[in-house]
């Protein structure tokens, strides 16, 4: 199974051009796709419904959209009036070749900033009826301003991921509404823009502290970094490039998996040839 994650920067590439077709081309061959910075009703891209527009490039896929930030849109100063009912929405998306059985969007902790923008961030959960067994997939986008806030978000996220079976996902006892009981898989894949660098304090808050005699030991309840497990990192690894200064590069995007999936990891790479966003698509292959 090929998993891909991509922060698509509301459709704009390194050249400043809005082009969803080239974003879709960058994701060809993926079985499951996690997207971040997907918007609706945003003035910068003509109030596009990006969720529907992206989905149109993948007509045979199932998809869910989880807008963490949702606001009423007023007419702009030039008098342009958005379509009635249009709202500004900013969130994550999951697309899958296989049915998305259930979904939730977890709203991550945030704090009020003064001056600097700080949007509500989320983790969109999709339970997917994948070959062999159902699996949970999370499309995640963390705060870009504060390491302290990212740590709080990761602690919250990891707690809810580990409590999934006990919480029961998005529904239990569905028979009362003539609905089937959805699966509650233990294994999961977490993908997205974490806005943190490898071995940073935030990274260690999720993956566990490294170093020591045994190094970082896999344990139940602690997600495994797919790139680290496959030794796919290099000193030059990056997943983001500053559009104004291409020499400024950072590794901000990740794929973490449950311990039960670690032995099934096959490969991991970042497609730095894509120019459809300021981030680059991250790919991980997991055996069935």
Helices (H), 163-225: 164-167, 201-207
Give this prediction's pTM.
0.95
Distance, CA of 269 to CA of 257 (rounded, Å):
15
Tens digit of each residue's pLDDT (9 = 90 or more) over 48-84 = 999 999 999 999 999 999 999 999 987 665 555 666 6
| Domain parsing of the chain, residue ranges | 2-286
Q: Are 37 and 276 in contact (CB under 8 A)?
A: no
Please check the confidence at residue 255 and state whether its pLDDT lies above 70.
yes
Angle at 88 between CA 84 and CA 89, to 5 degrees: 125
- How many other CB atoms are there within 10 angstroms of residue 250's CB atom? 16
Distance, CA of 285 to CA of 132 (rounded, Å):
15
Q: Is 207 helix (H, G, I), strand (E, B) or coil?
A: helix
Tens digit of each residue's pLDDT (9 = 90 or more) over 74-132 = 766 555 566 666 899 999 999 999 999 999 999 999 999 998 999 999 999 999 999 99
- How many other CB atoms are there within 10 angstroms of residue 211's CB atom? 9
Q: Are 154 and 125 in contact (CB under 8 A)?
A: no
For residue 191, give both structure tokens. 């993908």
Helices (H), the chain: 20-26, 50-56, 147-162, 164-167, 201-207, 226-229, 259-262
Beta bridge pairs of residue 235: none
Q: What is the arithmetic mean of pLDDT over 202-212? A: 90
> Does the domain spanning 2-286 belong to CATH 2.60.40.1080?
no
Tens digit of each residue's pLDDT (9 = 90 or more) over 149-158 = 999 999 999 9
């Amino acid at each position: 199974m090929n998993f891909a994650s991509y922060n698509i920067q509301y459709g704009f590439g390194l050249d400043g051009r809005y082009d969803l077709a080239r974003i879709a081309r960058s994701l060809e061959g993926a079985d499951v796709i996690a997207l971040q910075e997907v918007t609706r009703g945003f003035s910068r891209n003509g109030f596009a419904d990006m969720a529907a527009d992206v989905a149109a490039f993948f007509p045979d896929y199932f998809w869910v959209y989880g807008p963490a930030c949702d606001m009423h849109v007023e007419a702009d100063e030039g008098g342009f009036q958005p379509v009635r009912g249009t709202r500004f929405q900013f969130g994550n998306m999951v697309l899958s070749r296989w049915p998305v059985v259930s979904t939730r969007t977890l709203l991550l902790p945030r704090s009020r900033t003064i001056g600097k923008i700080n949007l509500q961030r989320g983790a969109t959960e999709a339970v997917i009826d994948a070959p062999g067994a159902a699996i949970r997939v999370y499309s995640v986008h963390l705060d870009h301003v504060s390491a302290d806030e990212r740590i709080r978000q990761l602690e919250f996220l990891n707690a809810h991921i580990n409590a999934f079976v006990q919480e029961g996902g998005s529904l239990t006892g569905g028979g009362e509404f003539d609905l089937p009981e959805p699966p509650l898989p233990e294994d999961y894949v977490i993908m997205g823009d974490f806005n943190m660098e490898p071995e940073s304090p935030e990274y260690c808050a999720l993956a566990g502290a490294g170093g020591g005699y045994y190094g970082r030991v896999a344990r139940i309840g602690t997600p495994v970094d797919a790139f680290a497990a496959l030794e796919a990192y290099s000193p030059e690894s990056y997943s983001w490039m500053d559009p104004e200064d291409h020499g400024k590069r950072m590794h901000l995007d990740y794929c973490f998996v449950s311990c039960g999936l670690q032995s099934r990891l096959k490969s991991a790479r970042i497609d730095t040839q894509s120019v459809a966003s300021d981030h680059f698509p991250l790919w991980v292959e997991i055996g069935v």
